[in-house]
């Protein structure tokens, strides 16, 4: 999965939903929602790419959060080689780590005794701290958490997280749209 | 096909399509502001929901346990130090220690 999907948070959310007893459809939908942030990243990155549609589609694949952020230049363009290079390092460690876990995971002991069920949520907390920089993002995070908690006892596994994504519709408010517009203008139009 | 294989194949196709969409579709065109505005808020909404449903619940039951404490300590470490590594090492360590008591 790490070799052909290469999108950590999407892989984790899909696996988490399966672990909670959710179905394949819910798991794939959660991964797709989690990955939807690559749409605007791809749109921002696109003008820095050369070549035809197929070549551009392939060049879009190495985009992950960290390398995308590293390669962003202040004028809105991207250092292509820096993005591909940092993604190559991340990809190699990601696949190696997955293989080590799969091969020797058994020898490491019972994941429950090791407290490994706390690892994914803790990792998500760390990512969330990175995402929730604005007051609006923090509000949306709180709303998402509340929706999920309210639905956990009554909805099938996987559904609470999917429905919680509706909290992002706060983005439709006029204030939220103006913030995005201001940020885009501050960054300058991508070339 | 097993559920695992279906999910992996599905995720691969969906991820490829999402990552390819921007670079292929953009011919000097931009996504409407309202769309971008919703998309940037999807990540915090989903991450918070995942944290809540895993750390504060056990299956379909709301439950606070050793893992809740571990996640809280890890989250605090990430907040104070900005280190994801410290966070993901501390959370399981605290959880395991509490369970071993």
* Averaged pLDDT in 10-residue chunks for chain A of 191 residues: 65 76 78 71 68 69 63 61 72 75 71 80 84 85 94 79 83 84 69 43
| Residue A65: inside a domain | no
Hey, of A78, A126, A191, which one would you mutate to test binding to chain B, going by the most B CBs within 10 A of its CB?
A: A126
| Residue B48: inside a domain | no
The domain containing residue A139 runs over which residues? 132-191
pLDDT for residue A191 = 43
The domain containing residue B3 runs over which residues? 1-30
Task: Chain A: give the shortest CA distance to residue B101, in Å.
Answer: 11
| Residue B8: inside a domain | yes
pLDDT for residue A140 = 92
Length of chain A counted residue by residue: 191
pLDDT for residue B70 = 93
| Residue B16: inside a domain | yes
Nearest to A43 among B3, B31, B87 (CB): B31
pLDDT for residue A114 = 80
pLDDT for residue A9 = 65
| Residue B6: inside a domain | yes
The tokens describing A147, both together, are 């929706």
Find the angle CA(A164)-CA(A171)-CA(A138) to the nearest 5 degrees.
65
pLDDT for residue A74 = 55
Buried b (16+ CB within 10 A) or exposed e, A93-129: ebeeeeeeeeeeeeeeeeeeebbbbbbbbbbbbbbbb
Strand pairing of B57-58 and B61-62? antiparallel
The tokens describing A62, both together, are 């190495």
Q: Does A88 touch chain B (CB under 8 A)?
A: no
| Residue B44: inside a domain | no
| Residue B31 CB-half CA count within 13 A | 25
| Region of A53 on the Ramachandran plot (φ > 0 left; ψ -120 to 50 alpha; else beta) | alpha
First to last CA, chain B: 42
User: What's the rounded Cα separation, in Å, for the pair A184 and B32?
Assistant: 12
pLDDT for residue B27 = 52
| Residue A118: inside a domain | no
The secondary structure of B12-52 as a DSSP string is HHHHHHHHHHHHHH-SS----HHHHHHHHHHHHHHHHHHHH
Low-confidence spans in chain B with pLDDT less than 50: 28
Cβ distance A140 to B41 less than 8 Å, yes or no, reads: yes
List, as ranges, residues 122-151 from A with C-beta within 8 Å of B: 122-129, 131-132, 136-138, 140-149
| Region of A149 on the Ramachandran plot (φ > 0 left; ψ -120 to 50 alpha; else beta) | alpha
| Residue B90: inside a domain | no
- A3: nearest CA in chain B? B12
| Residue A170: inside a domain | yes
Length of chain B counted residue by residue: 101
Q: Are B41 and A168 spatial neighbours (Cβ–Cβ below 8 Å)?
A: yes
| Count of structural domains, chain A | 1
If residue B58 lies in a helix (H) or strand (E), which one and from where to where? strand B57-58
| Count of structural domains, chain B | 1
């Amino acid at each position: 999965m790490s070799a052909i999907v290469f999108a950590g948070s999407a892989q984790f959310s899909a696996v988490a939903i399966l672990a909670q007893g959710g179905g394949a459809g819910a798991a794939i939908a959660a991964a797709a929602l989690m990955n939807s942030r690559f749409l605007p990243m791809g749109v921002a990155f696109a003008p820095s790419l050369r070549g035809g549609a197929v070549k551009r589609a392939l060049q879009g694949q190495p985009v992950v959060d960290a390398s995308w952020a590293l390669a962003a230049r202040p004028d809105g363009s991207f250092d292509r080689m820096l993005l591909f290079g940092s993604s190559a390092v991340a990809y190699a460690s990601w696949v190696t780590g997955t293989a080590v876990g799969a091969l020797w995971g058994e020898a490491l002991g019972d994941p429950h005794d090791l407290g490994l069920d706390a690892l994914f949520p803790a990792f998500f907390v760390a990512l969330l701290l990175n995402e929730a920089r604005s007051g609006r993002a923090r509000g949306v995070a709180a709303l998402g958490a509340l929706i999920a908690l309210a639905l956990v006892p009554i909805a099938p596994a996987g559904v609470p997280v999917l429905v919680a994504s509706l909290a992002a519709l706060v983005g439709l408010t006029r204030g939220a749209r103006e913030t995005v517009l201001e940020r885009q203008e501050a960054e300058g139009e991508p070339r | 096909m097993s559920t695992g294989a279906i999910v992996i194949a599905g995720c691969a196709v969906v991820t490829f399509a999402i990552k390819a969409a921007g670079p292929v579709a953009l011919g000097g065109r931009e996504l409407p502001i309202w769309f971008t505005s919703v998309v940037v808020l999807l990540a915090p909404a989903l991450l918070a929901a995942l944290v809540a449903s895993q750390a504060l619940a056990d299956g379909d039951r709301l439950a606070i346990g050793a893992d809740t404490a571990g996640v809280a300590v890890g989250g605090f470490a990430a907040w104070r130090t900005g280190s994801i590594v410290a966070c993901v090492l501390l959370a399981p360590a605290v959880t395991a220690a509490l369970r071993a008591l």
